[in-house]
Amino acid sequence: MDEMTQLRELRADAPVPDRAALAPGRERLTGTIAGRGRRTFRARADWRIASLGAVVAITAAALFVTQVVDTSDPRQSGPATVTGDLDLSSPSAALGRAADFLDRQEVPPEPRSDQWIYLREENPEQAEQWAELPAEIREDMQWSYSPDSWVPYDDKAAENDESDTDYRTARESYRIAADLPEDPEALLAKLRKVFPTGSGPDGPPEAKDEHSFRALSVLLGSYPLPPDAMARIYRAMATVGGVEVTDHLIRDASGRQVIAVTRDYDQGDTRREILIDPVDYSYAGERDVVTRTHEVSRPDGIEPTVHERGDILINVARTRAAVVDAKGQKP
C-alpha cells in the first residue's frame, strides 16, 4: 500500500461534512499551509490584564470553582463563579448572565500591529492521528500537529487572500466585532454577510439559523475580541433558533468543566457545541457530538463504521490565549 493510500484511509470512516462542519478545521488547516498558522482566536477576560490584582482575582475565582464543583460528577450544576451561581436553565439565562458580566469589564487597548497572537489548543484525537502517521509521511507533509501556535495580529497578505470566505485575521476579527450593532437581529444579519454561505463542494446553502450560528462560532473563535462586543454576540446567540444550553457543566478535551451552548446541524446526526468558561465567560473550545447512532459507509467494501450517540467527532479545548510581542513567546 502506498503512503497516500494509507493517509486517505486514516479517516475513511468519517462522515462527509457540510459547509458548517468544515469551516473550523478548514480555516485552521488552510491558514497553516499558507504560512499564517491557525486562524486567530478570541479573548479571555484576563487578556493583557492591567494589574496584578486582576490576575489574582481571576485565579482565585478559578480555584474557588474547582473547590465547589464535584469533579467526579460531570452533571453537577450551579457552581459559584465571579458572577454568582450559574443559571443554565435556558440560552437567554446563561448567555444573558455572561453578557452582563462582560459588559462590566474594561475594554483593553487594541493590540499593536507588530504583536502576535499565541494560542494553545488541546486536540487529543488530532494529536493521536498525527502520532500514528508513519515518519516518512509526517516528514513530507507541510502541516504538523502542535497545540501551540502563533499568528501575527496584523497580517496584510492574509487579509488580501479571498480564497476562504470564513477566514479573517486577528485584526479583521477584532474590528468586525467592535463594530457590531447592539440589536441582535441586525448583528446576525451583518455576520451572515461577513461569513457568507453558498453552494459547491462545501455543501448547499445553509438555512438562516444554521448560517447565523456558524457565523457566530467562527467569530467567537477569534482572539482577542473586546468584552463588550462579546456581550453583544452572546445576547444575539441566545436568539438563534434551535440554540440550547446544556443544563450541566460538561468536560472539555483538557478535563475542565465548561458551559456548552449547542445547536443540532440541520442535516445529519450531530450537533455543534460552543464551549464557554464558567468563570470569565471566555471562549473555551468546540465539540461536534453524535446525536443519533448511525452507520457511516466506507469505500472499497470495508465494513461501515458505527457512530454511537454521544461519540465526540471534534473535540478542541483552548487552554491559553494571549497577545505577545514575538513569535515563539509564551505568556
* DSSP for 132-179, written as a single string: HS-HHHHHH-S----SEEEEESS-HHHHT--S-TT---HHHHHHHHHT
The residue among 20 and 247 whose pLDDT is bigger is 247
CA distances from 312 to 89, 141, 211, 212, 283 (A): 24, 26, 22, 23, 19
Output phi, psi for 262, to 5 deg.
Answer: -125, 155
Q: Answer for the pair 224, 323: CB distance below 8 angstroms, yes or no.
A: yes
For residue 80, pLDDT over 50 is answered with no
What integer best gives the mean pLDDT of the chain?
78
Q: The whole model's pTM is what?
A: 0.73
Query: Any bridge partners for residue 295, and if so which?
Result: 306
pLDDT for 161 equals 79
**CB atoms closer than 10 angstroms to residue 147:** 18
Q: Which of 296, 237, 244, 241 is nearest to 266 (CA)?
A: 241
pLDDT of residue 222 exceeding 50: yes
> Residue 47 pLDDT more than 50?
no
Residue type, 132: E
pLDDT (tens digit per residue) in 113-142: 999 999 999 987 776 676 667 776 767 776
Distance CA 155, CA 88 (A): 38
Structure confidence at residue 297 (pLDDT): 84
- Report the distance separating Cα 293 and Cα 308, nearest Å: 4
**Residue 39 confidence (pLDDT):** 38
Q: Report, as an integer, the average pLDDT of 5-18.
A: 43
User: Strands, DSSP E only, in 164-254?
Assistant: 244-245, 250-251
